[in-house]
Amino acid sequence: MIIRFEVENWMSFRNRVTLSMIAGREFHHEDRVSRIDKYRLGVLPIAAIYGGNASGKTNLFTALSFMKRLVVRGTRPDSPIPVNRFCLDNQSSEVPARFLIEMLVGEDIYAFSFAVTRQSVIEEKLVRVSSSSERLLYDRKAAQPMIFDSSLPEMERLEFAFKGTRSNQLFLTNAVSQNVDTFKPVHDWFNNTLTLIAPDSRFESFYQFVDEGEPLYSAINDALSRLDTGIVHLGGEEIPLENLPIPESDKARMQEEVKEDTAVCIVVVPVNERYVITKKDGTLVAKKLVTYHAKSDGTEEKFEMRQESDGSKRLIDILPAFLDMSTGKTNKVYIVDELDRSLHTLLTRNLLELYLSTCSANSRAQLLFTTHDVLLMDQQLFRRDEMWVTERAADGVTNLQSFSEYKDVRADKNIRKSYLQGRLGGIPRILLGNPCISPRDHKENEGDKR
């Protein structure tokens, strides 16, 4: 689970912003808050992030995606670090972007942070947090000796790994690649637990749900039929790997990255076909995803994925995540950008209610998502500290604020109405026609914040 995430000087986040998943003092929906007894801590199972177009919601998603990519995939020698710093003033382009994440790994909390420019890693630090103190595991600063906790095992191997770490590479990444197991649980959290689903996801981790023998097969098909898609069940048509219409470089990358007995789903544009790629005994197997619909005579008709609506395709993309979270057995953290894309608001709400109904003090799954759907802005569905808003100022800087930080957002308040009236920020400043709220009114409403 994510405990806290901070980012600074990344895209529109010039100033440091913090997304905290620590539960506040309110009692609303308290029964679904995860309890970490070791730390006497309550962690929220969900965060909904609202905001106008170009307000910075997706930039939060890309910041987490960048962290994962830099940890898991790293960089090539002599390649620039693909960091996107704030570019609307001269000062920000000269200082590093900064990232910090506190996460629950097993039942231990770690804080991992780094600062980077396009040329090098300026700082990097890993801390293990206990119930009463913090233990610095390592601290790296450019052009300075590495500081290690003297009680760490494999010290000689750690020193060796540090000497071999390039300036454009994270030490965490290189240490694990050198088979140093000391920090592997943290690396594995980024690799296996943190899962990001973009609106047009390509080559993302997926579950095998095409074959009848897979655990999710019946659950996926049952859900698709119940959610009024017209789909009776999914199927997969095996095709030779050489006929897969993607570049040879992508096939080579999949050969390296797809793990044994797991699967990924790729989308091929412009035909918009989906292929499920699995690895069996070291060999990649490709299947084209198809759907089946009931005919009036009781038989079934096969549909290509390009024949399905955008909503059905989006649902197929995200449904495995919701079914996984709803088992109550997973510890995955799902980050979904534009959750409501092409989905009816009642369908989106149904998925959220399905997941939240399974959350309890012992749950360790977590969902963070961005959305434009204000009909989901409902205190019957979410706590105040589970709802956030991004707002972009006139100078292009994005701010991130929790609804729990507004003094007049009571548990019985119509929060949607206040939001649309501009009292909570995060709405578009539309200049065409008659704007919903004038800049002067918007400025006056800043007084509603604590």
Q: How far is CA 109 from the centre of its chain?
A: 19
Taking each helix axis from N to C end, the angle separating 345-356 and 310-325, rounded to the nearest 10 degrees, works out to 10
Q: Residue 442: what pLDDT?
A: 46
Where does 1-199+337-450 sit in CATH, by number? 3.40.50.300
Residue with tokens 């089946």: 292
Q: Among residues of the chain, what percentage have pLDDT more than 70?
A: 91
Give pLDDT tens digits for 125-151: 999 998 888 999 999 999 899 999 999
* 410-424 as b/e: b if 16+ CB within 10 A: eeeeebbebbeebbb
Give the Cβ contact number of residue 178 at 10 Å: 14
Q: Residue 121: what pLDDT?
A: 98
Q: Residue 217: what pLDDT?
A: 83
Give pLDDT tens digits for 112-121: 999 999 999 9
Can you tell me the distance from the alpha carbon of 240 to that of 151, in angstroms, rounded to the nearest whole number? 52
Q: Residue 298: what pLDDT?
A: 93
Can you tell me the distance from the alpha carbon of 2 to that of 422, in angstroms, rounded to the nearest whole number? 30
Give the Cβ contact number of residue 142 at 10 Å: 13
3-state secondary structure of 413: coil
Looking at per-residue pLDDT, the higher value among 9 and 246 belongs to: 9
* 215 prior amide bond cis, ω within 30: no
pLDDT category, 39, cuts 50, 70, 90? very high
Can you tell me the distance from the alpha carbon of 385 to that of 26, in angstroms, rounded to the nearest whole number? 9
Q: What is the mean pLDDT of residues 257-272?
A: 79
Per the structure block, which two tokens stand in for 213? 């023998």
Domain residue spans in the chain?
Answer: 1-199+337-450, 202-319
Q: Residue 420: what pLDDT?
A: 75
Nearby residues of 90 by Cβ (< 8 Å), 6 or more positions away:
none
- Specify whether the CB–CB gap between 390 and 56 falls below 8 A: yes
Residue 328 falls in which region: left (phi positive, over 0), alpha (psi -120 to 50) or beta:
left
Q: How far is CA 240 from the centre of its chain?
A: 33
Q: Residue 409: what pLDDT?
A: 66
Phi first, then psi, for residue 428 (nearest 5°) are -65, 140
Q: Residue 450: what pLDDT?
A: 45
Give pLDDT tens digits for 247-262: 898 888 888 888 887 7
Phi first, then psi, for residue 247 (nearest 5°) are -60, 150
